[in-house]
Amino acid sequence: METLFLTPTDENLALAAKALREGQLVGMPTETVYGLGADALNESAVRAIFAAKGRPADNPLIVHVPTIEAAEPLCYIDKRARRVMEHFCPGPLTLLLPKKPIIPQVVNAGLPSVAIRIPSHPVARKLLELSGVPVAAPSANTSGKPSPTTAQHVLDDLSGKLHSVIDGGSCEVGLESTVIDMTREVPTVLRPGGITPDMLLSVLDEVAVAESVLRPLKDGEKALSPGMLYKHYAPKGTLTLVKGEPARVQSLMKRLYHATQQEGKSVQLFAFAEHLPAYEGCNVKCIGSLGQPETIARQLFAVLRQADAEGIDVLYSEVVAAEGVGLAVMNRLSRAAGFRTIDADQEG
Ligand code: TXA
Ligand code: MG
């Protein structure tokens, strides 16, 4: 199948909405990352999502709807969840809620909960409204690769495996939505994103953050969110994070850079805008500004994909404090690095 690359005109959105209703796969922009959408109530269409991505069947999907009303037939929404939805939706937040029987097992891996998201991207909203069906959509990348933040990224991974991709420009947030489990007594963030725990505390008495957010699962530990089981966001090259006092980090990164070059490997450094002058003469990529961590979120996946395109063997990256949006950045960066971290303060 030749995948159509669609600009978001009324005509093209109607075409994509029709494809969704007919059980086909459509790549859609959202404010977080691009999604690979299919009619959530059509089992064979949902199976096609798993096949296209090479995604394990036990990793459940998020169901996208345009409004809270459209979510009502799919899940039970108590007062507390409604408060969260009314405050943060549409937006980069996904709520795990008790599912209603209409959700096919293939969507949520047979779990008692279903993940619901109301995206704010105008193109996604229009497509959801026009299609009239709830849309199951994981990130539109090959399983394990960094999520796509442009329509071209979707084509790079999945061209020929979907009906069409709608070009909605670069994603504003750049990292996947915050996933909060609202079925627990204490609502728990399973995946950090653009909506931070502090923001959630404005409408909830308590918010927990799953401990596994910043570390690998221990042997035999059960993942709260199946997606956390899998290797994620990984570039082809070997990425290592370097933490510590900035001057020590910079000096260690430069030493590692030159040592790696001596081994005949291609090497790249990821650094924040404020630190770029320290790496003069090195192959260095800016991954955003420390002063504005949302710029790091927005660029991270594109920079990882770019390193792949350039065939980089070895990567070293600076790190940001795991606070606010920085928590989401460090969650993705740690996984992309397979949790490999060097402490520059210890290395001397
Ligand atoms: O921003 C986003 O959330 C994007 C856009 C397209 O909406 N979607 C996305 O989907 O990131 P995906 O499939 O790549 O990640 C969904 C995550 C996975 O870690 C999955 O395991 C978890 O949500 N999840 C979904 N349903 C769940 C459930 N019922 N219980 C626990 N975890 C669930
Ligand atoms: Mg994903």
For residues 327 and 333, give the distance between their C-alpha atoms in angstroms, rounded to a whole number.
Answer: 10
Give the predicted TM-score (pTM) of the model.
0.95
Q: Which residues surround ligand 2, an ion (CB under 5 A)?
A: 139
Q: Which protein residues touch ligand 1 with a CB less than 6 Å away?
A: 30, 32-33, 35, 59-62, 94, 96, 108, 111, 113-115, 117, 137-139, 176-177, 179, 191, 225-227
- Helix ranges (DSSP H) in the chain: 10-21, 43-53, 68-71, 79-88, 105-108, 122-131, 151-158, 197-200, 246-262, 293-309, 325-336, 344-347
Q: In angstroms, what is the span from residue 115 Cα to ligand 1's centroid?
A: 7
* Predicted pLDDT of residue 293: 94
Residue percentage of the chain with pLDDT more than 70:
97
Peptide linkage before 90 cis (omega within 30 of 0): yes
Give the HSE-up count for residue 76: Cα atoms under 13 Å, Cβ half-sphere: 9
Kindly report, residue by residue over 8-24, the tens digit of the pLDDT: 999 999 999 999 999 99
- Percent of the chain that is helix, strand, coil (3-state, to 5): 35, 20, 45
Helix or strand or coil: residue 327?
helix
Give the HSE-up count for residue 313: Cα atoms under 13 Å, Cβ half-sphere: 8
How many residues would you count in the chain? 348
Residue owning the nearest CA to atom 31 of ligand 1: 225
What average pLDDT score do residues 163-179 get? 98
Residue 225 pLDDT exceeds 80: no
Residue 229 — very low, low, confident or very high, per pLDDT cuts 50/70/90?
low
- Cβ within 8 Å of residue 317, ≥6 positions away: 239, 240, 241, 242, 269, 270, 271, 287, 333, 337
* Predicted pLDDT of residue 227: 66
Contact of 319 with 330, CB cutoff 8 Å: yes
What average pLDDT score do residues 141-168 get? 96
Q: Which numbered atom of ligand 1 lies nearest the CA of 141?
A: 14
Residue 231 pLDDT exceeds 70: no
Q: In angstroms, what is the span from residue 117 Cα to ligand 1's centroid?
A: 9
